Amino acid sequence: MKGLDVPSVSERDHTISNPVIPGFHPDPSICRAGEDYYLACSSFEYFPGVPIFHSRDLVHWTQIGNALDRPSQLRLPSGTPSSGGLYAPTLRHHDGRFWLIITNVSSDGNLLFTATDPAGPWSDPIPLPGVHGIDPDIAWDDDGNCWCTVAGVSQVRIDPRTGETFGESRRLWSGAHGAKAPEAPHLYRIGDYWYLLIAEGGTERCHGVSIARGRTPGGPFEPCPDNPILTHRGTDRPIQNTGHGDLVQGPDGSWWMVFLGVRPRGGTPGWHVLGRETFLAPVSWVDDWPVVGEVSPTMAPPPWPLHEPALAPVRDDFDLGELAPAWVSLRSRPAENCTTSERAGWLSLRARGESPDDPEVTFVGRRQQHLSCRARVLVDPAEGCGGLTVRLDEEHHYEIEATPGQVRVLARIGPLRTVVAYRATATGPVVLRIGVAVTEKVTDARQGPDTVSLGVEDAEGTFVELAALDGRYLSTEVAGGFTGRVLGMYASTGTVHFDWFDYGPLED
C-alpha cells in the first residue's frame, strides 16, 4: 500500500490544492527539525493511534508511522465510544528529541511520549496525573523549565522526563469576546514575546483561532486587537469550521499555520463526510502580530521546490509481513484476529464481533480522502461472512457483505438496521465495490452531499450496482462526533480472507 494521497500542483497556474492532508486528519500539530517537517493528528478510537507525517515542503506529506502502535502505549478499553480515545496531540522537537503529548479521554488521561526518530519507535507513556484538562501543549523557556498548557486555559510546570508537576495549575488568558470552548492552546517564544495561540467557538461552524502575547510563559497576556485571526464563521466559503491551528517557521524565515477545516456539501445545513482535514495557510507579521493569509481550496505554493506528488490509486496486495501505517482498526488489533501470514498474500480477519454495529468487530480500514472515490476488494468468504464497509461509527455505516454464493447490502442509520438488497453469486471469491459520487449540482435545499453505491463486479469487471444510498447519513452533521468516514474490510462470522484492497479517487 503506497502513501496517503497528497495535493496536486497545477503546472498551468502554479497553485496547490488545500487540504494538504485530506480526509479524517484533525487537530494537526507541527514541528520542524532542520529541513524536515513532522505533523501529528488526533486518531480517537482507532488503533494504531496518532498518525505521524513527514514533509520537506509543507505541501506533500507521507505517513511514516503511528506514534502509538503497541498495546503498552495505547489503552482503548472495549467501552471506548466512537469519538472517544485520543484527543489533540502536540508534537515538538526539543533538545535533540521529539516530544508528543496527548490526552486519552477514555482511560489514562494526559500522557507524554518521546522518540529520537519520529517514524518510531516511540517510548512507552509517561503519565501526567497532575495535569488536568485536554489538548495539552508543552513549551520550554530559556531556563529549561517545561510548561504544560491545557484547554481552559490553564498551565502548570512539569518535568517531562518523569511526569511530575510543580506548584498549582494557574489560569491564563481564555480567549476573545467570551467565546465558548477555549482549547487547543499552543505556546511559543517568538522574538520578544511569548505567544499563546488557542482555538475557540467550538469545533463546528463557529470555530476560530485567536492569539495573545506576553513577556513570560505565564503572562499576563494581551489579546490581539484583530482576534480571531482565523475564522470562516458566518461566511459561504467552501472551507468551514477552520480552527485548531499550530504555527511553524520555515528554514527561509517564512511562517505558516496548519489547522483543521471541513468541506461541507449538499443543501442545508451542509454535510461534511470526510471529517476534519488538515489545511495550510501562509502567515505574515504586522506590529508583532501574526496575520493569516487567504484560506481557499487552492493556494500559491511555498517559495521553495516541491516534491513530486505520490501516485494514486492506492492498492495493497497484502504481500508484506505487517500492515502499512495507513491501515487502522477499532480500539485494538489482536494478532490472532488480523494476520497476513495465515494465507500467503491475503489478509485474514477472524470475527470477534457480530457486525459493524459491534464495537468489537474485526475491522481494517483506511480513511476516505476524496469527495468522490471508489474502493474495491477481492474477498473469499468460504470460511465465514464479511465484506466491505464505509463507516462513520457503530450506528452509521453501509456495507456490502459476502457469504458463499450470495452478497447483500446492509445499512445502519441510528437505531434502524436494514437489508437493502441481495444478489446470488458464484461460489468462490468475489469482488465487492463501494463508490462515492459527490453531489455536483444542488437542486433541492434538502439534497445530500453525495451518493454511496454498493455492489459487485462481474466476471468481465463490470460494476453491478445493488444499491445507491444517500451519503448524508454518514456525515458528522447527522451522526455527531469528531471523526470522518473510513473504508475497510471486516469479518462478522468465521474467518474471511481478502486478496487485495484497491482505493482510488474519482473525478470530484
DSSP letters along 20-60, please? SB-SS--S-EEEEETTEEEEE---BTEESEEEEEEESSSSS
Catalytically annotated residue among 5, 27, 57, 401: 27
**Whole-Å CA distances, 296 to 6, 155, 225, 281, 489:** 16, 34, 24, 9, 34
**CA–CA separation, 431 and 456 (whole Å):** 6
User: At 470, which helix (H) or strand (E)?
Assistant: strand 463-470
Length of the chain, please? 508
**CA–CA separation, 86 and 73 (whole Å):** 11
200 is catalytic: no
Question: How many helices (H) and strands (E) are present in the chain, helices listed first?
Answer: 1, 38
* 147-156 per-residue burial string, b: 16 or more CB within 10 A, e: under 16: bbbbbbbbbb
Nearest CA among 181, 178, 161, 47 for reference residue 95: 161
Nearest CA among 167, 148, 166 for reference residue 100: 148
**CA–CA separation, 331 and 80 (whole Å):** 8
Output the nine-digit C-alpha cell for 327: 491501515
4 CB-near residues (< 8 Å, 6+ apart): 21, 23, 53, 61, 62, 63, 310, 314, 326, 367, 369
DSSP letters along 84-134, please? -SEEEEEEEEETTEEEEEEEETTTTEEEEEEESSTTSPPPPPEE-TT--SS
* 165-184 per-residue burial string, b: 16 or more CB within 10 A, e: under 16: beeebeebbbbbeebebbbb
**CA–CA separation, 228 and 197 (whole Å):** 10
Output the nine-digit C-alpha cell for 506: 474519482
Residues 220, 225, 228, 229: is their CA dihedral positive or negative? negative
27 is catalytic: yes
| Strand partners of residue 403 | 406
- For 474, the 3-state DSSP assignment is helix
**CA–CA separation, 392 and 475 (whole Å):** 7
Catalytically annotated residue among 5, 45, 69, 183: 183
Q: Mind telling me the catalytic residues? A: 27, 183
